Chains A and B, each alone.
Chain A
């Protein structure tokens, strides 16, 4: 109990006297804040990108692509293959018995990024009549659906915000053809919001794709249907298509980019943390030096070394925590929710929102506490071991 009282007393003195060491303490706080800020900015970017891809795609929808193509843009599917897939077991059919199926074309067109004015690859997806029915969660937020057979397109709201020239009612030129934007759609912040949609037959003819497609989407009746469709595709030499659930397909697209951002962010943050640690150690050593007489006096009147140790360590930790919180708050205020885009594995831009999650803040606070702990423990040890006579002899 006595020890606890001593610790509380010393800690209070240390913290209350912080304003006397304002500048050195501030430098530690700022250093830790910047370390945490850099780390969180990178991690929040990675998390936002991952969230967008993982929030895309339904587990009930199957995507069929040419085997080995990996990406929608590479795949080629013939009209005959589309007809064959329509006969597959396990797929949902409409009341008239025909399959709910959308054969789609995925071509890349140029757009201009608003923020930088640079060219960007944007996906123009030609979808079939059943396309919207195979996109649960899709809603038109403005305008209307494109009319079949026309040069009309609808655009995802993320794309419209991020890239210039895709506002409702505007016309865009792809090559020699002019398209009118008649609607804007939302789809729960998914990758689809970074796309342009038109009638697949019009896209086929204006891009000279004949009757070829790139992917087929069908709705599955139940969980076992994926294996049924796979077996069906394997069993027919005319098909041999790769079958995945839409959810798995998009989840598999995030790892490369996310790893790249994380591999850039962590080493940078750790290097900066080492720099901040050097600063924290300096601050705390000088704090101990400045208080050496005070510590010696306390020791003379019966305070133990433990209270000096804990008091100093606590001071360092408090500075680091304040710094960490400021860094996290700054990232939250400056970046959280900000929209940006990068080139996805499908070779087109994916718009995503930077997402600062509590888990990331916790990780960053661990780093901040690490700096505070190591930056405080050695000076605290010195404070605890300070020879009383030497402290008075100084100065």
Chain B
């Protein structure tokens, strides 16, 4: 009989008890896996490409516009490769409560800067660039509303008024569908031409809501950002420039300290499991006192007994934890498809952390019973009732 089969036999000598502990551990790692996936999603907002892009917004707040003339002035800054800009349109289709993310953009430069995020058929791209009232939509949006390329779509704005009709609605032609160009991208929005926006709105002409910049060298991002902000200091619209990633994460931080909440919940879950499993392991070993005494009598060395008990708690932790982690990964991928948050996944880093926690849990819950077994005196063990 190998040591491993001894460990297995010990572990499953109380099937119900072991099963219950495995369920408890499984749930703890399910929670951990889910929350780590969410944290990973938050950390990866915008994906890697976002680190090499800068966003310039009005220093007062990103909802305040800037003069569109800033775009060309930024283009002239050394270290800037590409510049584009966008305005928030506050778009909706029929139901004002269902806002669709819609940007009025400088199409050519926008598609250039987001070339690694937005994938579109070349003919659709050409059609978009040449159609004044054309718009392109993320595939999910088009599917949700049953739109097809070529359809005439009336889109409304919860902010702007159309000068030509006096209503809040604009007519667009859907000329293209956007797909994610990389795994991290999620073009779940609508783009249309800033020229169409500019000529038809009753206010807000010649403004830029935010300006996107692609720098020649990400290492120079800080210097470029400082230079841009210095250029507009003391003007009526001062600016604040940061990487797109930092901008996205600052926005998410407005929801609340999600990381702190996740830490608390995971801490609570693990403390619970530690209590439950630690106790049960201690109890299981105490019940086997006589057995251990017999093993010692048969000549099992103390070290081997120590390893057997510790191995049992480690095995239990892994048998409960790994399936829990697997379930979390499956659940996350199902949700990822549903809500379109590309980073929502169990990253290798967090899976590694989870395995380390499993080993730590197994160690912590097993060490005292293992130590007690090691120290156990044969006479006491066999004499105990």
Contacts and interface: CB of A to CB of B under 8 A. Distances in A.
Contacts of B31: 268, 271-272
Given A207-B64, A275-B28, A282 B20 contact: yes
Interface in A92-130: 107-110, 115-116, 118-121
Interface in A125-163: none
Contacts of A68: 92, 96, 156, 158, 168
A120 B257 CA distance: 12
Contact of A278 (B64, B238, B265, B276): B276
A108 B64 contact: yes
Interface stretch (A31-39, A54-62, A218-226): A31-39
B234 A176 contact: yes
Given A176-B234, A282-B20, A120 B254 contact: yes
Interface in A259-291: 268, 271-272, 274-276, 278-279, 281-283, 285-286
B256 interface: yes
A342 B256 CA distance: 5
A8 interface: no
Contacts of A342: 254-256
A176, A208, A341, A342 pick with most chain B CB within 10 angstroms: A176
A69 interface: yes
Nearest to A265: B265
Contacts of A349: 254
A383 interface: no
Contacts of A23: 279, 282
A361 to B, nearest CB: 18
Interface in B156-214: 156, 158-159, 161, 168, 203
A27 B20 CA distance: 14
A24 B255 CA distance: 40
B158 A343 contact: no
A110 B60 contact: yes
A343 B62 CA distance: 14
Contact of B158 (A37, A69, A285): A69
Contact of B254 (A118, A212, A283): A118
Nearest to B267: A34
B272 A175 contact: no
Contact of A119 (B58, B159, B250, B268): B250
A110 B283 contact: no
B203 A76 contact: yes
Contact of B256 (A34, A69, A108, A340): A340
A31 B280 CA distance: 13
A30 B60 CA distance: 48
Interface in B235-279: 235-238, 250, 253-257, 264-265, 268-269, 271-273, 275-276, 278-279
Nearest to B92: A68
A175 B58 CA distance: 8
B238 A175 contact: yes
Nearest to B95: A68
B325 interface: no
B21 A282 contact: yes
B272 A279 contact: yes
Contacts of B269: 34, 38, 272, 275
B250 A118 contact: yes
A221 B199 CA distance: 43
A119 B96 CA distance: 29
Given A69-B159, A212-B203, A285-B17, A279 B60 contact: no
A109 B203 CA distance: 20
A20 interface: no
Contact of B272 (A35, A67, A341): A35
Given A37-B268, A68-B96, A208-B236, A279 B275 contact: yes
Given A272-B272, A279-B272, 20 more contacts: A23-B279, A38-B265, A68-B156, A69-B90, A76-B203, A107-B63, A118-B250, A121-B63, A121-B254, A212-B203, A272-B268, A275-B23, A278-B20, A278-B27, A279-B280, A282-B17, A282-B276, A342-B256, A343-B255, A347-B63
Interface of A: 23-24, 26-27, 30-31, 34-35, 37-38, 41, 66-71, 73-76, 107-110, 115-116, 118-121, 174-176, 207-208, 212, 268, 271-272, 274-276, 278-279, 281-283, 285-286, 340-343, 347, 349, 395
19 contacts: A30-B272, A31-B275, A35-B272, A38-B268, A70-B96, A70-B158, A74-B159, A107-B63, A119-B253, A121-B61, A175-B59, A175-B238, A207-B60, A268-B265, A272-B268, A272-B272, A276-B276, A278-B20, A279-B24
